[in-house]
Structure 1
Amino acid sequence: MEPEYIALYKSGELAHRARTLEARLRSCDICPRKCGVNRLESEKCFCHSGYLPIVAAACAHHGEEPAISGDKGSGTIFFGNCNLRCAYCQNHQISQNHRAQQSKQVDYKNLASYMLYLQNELGCHNINFVSPSHFVPQIVKALLEAVPMGLQIPLVYNTSSYDSVDTLESLDGIISVYLADLRYASNSWGWKLSRVSDYVERARDAIKEMYRQVGDLALDESGIAQKGLLVRHLILPNRLAGSRESLAWLVNEVSPAVTVSIMAQYYPAHRATRIPLISRRINEQEYEEVIGLLDELGIENGWVQEVDASDTYQPDFARRGHPFEPAMSRHK
């Protein structure tokens, strides 16, 4: 199945969207924060990001869900900086260390070359954009370089879901698979833990738009995702993620056939050790409660991490070559 973005390139629509998105950087409203700074002149605000994209790492990632990583790996491009400030961020070395990230700015041709390297040299199943919300214009502009050079594998948008619906609409037909977090069911906890006051409504609106574009997750004969929505839900200590409310919302408001990945990899990274309610890993009871919700709500599609996944998912972006150890297990 040829990705739709190739037809968009041939018709000129991809170039039109790239121009429209880039123009929005003049008074940036790419994400819901709508900071209004002129990123075309490299002015910066909440995400500490200017005009050029920042690539913190690019690698074949074997630790994503089986439908994303497969046996060849997911061609993962980790963008530097972020539009959230999660106290427990496991990628905090690159998401909340903006001064160090400035040295990792690349131009559009370099970003395109990363995509082609992951496809052609490493043979990855897809290109997986991690934390892309603040760099959507840059991604689309880089595709104008990559597509005529032979890029032809699915694109995965791997996001916190704190995304602008207007921006997501411009990705319709470009992104094949949305890999979306659903972190909180309470804006109070969103603010306390991620410094975002409207996460619940923004993320839910974003996920509905993602589903409108791509529908339920569709796999090829090898079990690799070709199109669709996959929602990740990270179990937090002390039930702070609002798992029951979030999972019920997915089933009732998005799709009864929604594909869900339950993540048990939480550990107190970054500033979490200083916040008592999240200063420990999840316990067996908290884990089993969320697993029980899957049966209760009739969620049949997806994956569940083992309760000890936090022992294996601890990225180190200071490590030379690859920030991850061998693949963690995800199954259901």
Structure 2
Amino acid sequence: MTDPGYIQLYESGELEQRVQRLEARLEHCDICPRRCGANRLNGEIGSCNAGKLVAVAAVCAHRGEEPAISGSRGSGTVFFGNCNLRCVYCQNYQISQDPERQRPNQITPSRLSNRMLYIQNDLDCHNINLVSPTQYVPQIMRAIYEAVPRGLNLPIVYNTNAYDAVDTLRELEGVVDIYLPDLKYASNSIAAKLSDVAHYVPTARAAITEMYRQVGNLVVDSDDIAVRGLIVRHLILPNELAGSEESMRWIASELSPSVTVSLMAQYYPRHKAMEVPPIARSITTAEYRRVVNLLDVLGLENGWLQGEGSRDYYLPDFNFEGHPFERG
């Protein structure tokens, strides 16, 4: 297997330059599309509820991701605290929507670097899986920069809600090996109602297009483990609120029918979802089958279908110390 691209970028000096550029942007933060302007270097908190330090809620070998990500040894998952969206149904709401609770979890990029090496050397995972990384891109890049001379050589997975700024993503080219974005909505008004975000659709589509430009279609090794490429996740919501048909048509026509799609059926009304009647239930079999059939119609043949009974398995509990998905 060839070395990840970030090693060559480190050796050429390019990685250090990118780290410096990204860190400078924290002074008037424009890392994500909200571009709130907070001086995070001086202790101000951005609209994402993140500051200068990195909130890390959990680090574990996750065996519940897509088969090409988890493999046989698990995906070395770093669950970051806080988020630049406010999804009323967020399954990770315990860490994404409770900034006060995340304060004790704040660490420096150097400590994050240590955890990356722990994933590689102690957990022996296939990759480093960065969950909700958007608000911490500068710190993540610093951590990778510090870990390379200490032997880091695992592929990097960027596991995101896709509300990412293209200019930030461009700094990740050659660093991220596998992009794993959600494509949540096909309607800006629904995105505003359910995730408190403006212009989600054009922003996420532009971000995913840039990701695809960087890494292309999914490439796996001889053991069917992902080494490079794009995997687009789509969570089916009740009452067709995710706009599944429009989003799948966009992938097929504007990206490629060859793009790998991970169709998720795990929706469960958590957090504030019971207060929003259209999403206060799980999806039906008919809703699930409709989207599955659509994949066939559009020729989207690469990827995975999550089983209808998956929601119970995929509910994390971050009150449990250690692994949020393995509670013994």
Determine the C-alpha separation between the residues in 2 that align with 1:42 and 1:9: 29
1:325 Cα deviation after fit: 3.2
The residue type equivalent to 1:105 in the other structure is Q
Determine the C-alpha separation between the residues in 1 that align with 2:313 and 2:130: 22
Q: Is the 8 A contact 1:186 1:200 kept in 2?
A: yes
Task: Provide the residue aligned with 1:95 in structure 2.
Answer: 96
1:321 Cα deviation after fit: 1.1
Q: TM-score, normalised by structure 2?
A: 0.99
How does 1:176-325 map onto structure 2 within 5 Å? 176-325=177-326
Q: Deviations for 1:133-163, whole angstroms, at most 9, x for unmatched residues?
A: 0000000011111111100010000000000
1:317 Cα deviation after fit: 0.4
Q: Is the 8 A contact 1:214 1:227 kept in 2?
A: yes
Task: Provide the residue aligned with 2:25 in structure 1.
Answer: 24
SS of structure 1 residue aligned to 2:59: strand
Task: Provide the residue aligned with 1:50 in structure 2.
Answer: 51
SS of structure 2 residue aligned to 1:54: strand
Task: Provide the residue aligned with 2:8 in structure 1.
Answer: 7
Determine the C-alpha separation between the residues in 2 that align with 1:254 and 1:40: 37
Determine the C-alpha separation between the residues in 1 that align with 2:26 and 2:87: 24
Determine the C-alpha separation between the residues in 1 that align with 2:321 and 2:141: 28
Q: Is the 8 A contact 1:58 1:75 kept in 2?
A: yes
Task: Provide the residue aligned with 2:34 in structure 1.
Answer: 33
- What is the percentage of aligned positions where both structures have the same residue? 60
SS of structure 2 residue aligned to 1:137: helix
Q: Is the 8 A contact 2:265 2:307 kept in 1?
A: yes
SS of structure 2 residue aligned to 1:10: helix
Provide structure 2 residue ranges, at least 5 long, that are not aligned to the other structure: none
Q: Is the 8 A contact 1:159 1:181 kept in 2?
A: yes
How does 1:57-76 map onto structure 2 within 5 Å? 57-76=58-77
Task: Provide the residue aligned with 1:116 in structure 2.
Answer: 117
Q: Is the 8 A contact 1:165 1:205 kept in 2?
A: yes
Q: Is the 8 A contact 1:57 1:78 kept in 2?
A: yes
Q: TM-score, normalised by structure 1?
A: 0.97
2:156 matched to 1:155?
A: yes
The residue type equivalent to 2:250 in the other structure is W
1:45 Cα deviation after fit: 2.8
Determine the C-alpha separation between the residues in 2 that align with 1:142 and 1:311: 34
The residue type equivalent to 1:50 in the other structure is G
The residue type equivalent to 1:262 in the other structure is L
The residue type equivalent to 1:189 in the other structure is I
Determine the C-alpha separation between the residues in 2 that align with 1:121 and 1:103: 24
Q: Is the 8 A contact 1:313 1:325 kept in 2?
A: no
Determine the C-alpha separation between the residues in 2 that align with 1:173 and 1:286: 38
Alignment RMSD: 0.7
The residue type equivalent to 1:208 in the other structure is T
SS of structure 2 residue aligned to 1:221: coil
1:109 Cα deviation after fit: 1.4
Determine the C-alpha separation between the residues in 2 that align with 1:85 and 1:14: 32
Q: Is the 8 A contact 1:312 1:325 kept in 2?
A: no
Determine the C-alpha separation between the residues in 2 that align with 1:170 and 1:210: 11
SS of structure 1 residue aligned to 2:54: coil
Q: Is the 8 A contact 1:42 1:49 kept in 2?
A: no
Determine the C-alpha separation between the residues in 2 that align with 1:129 and 1:321: 17
Determine the C-alpha separation between the residues in 1 that align with 2:43 and 2:217: 38
Determine the C-alpha separation between the residues in 1 that align with 2:39 and 2:30: 10
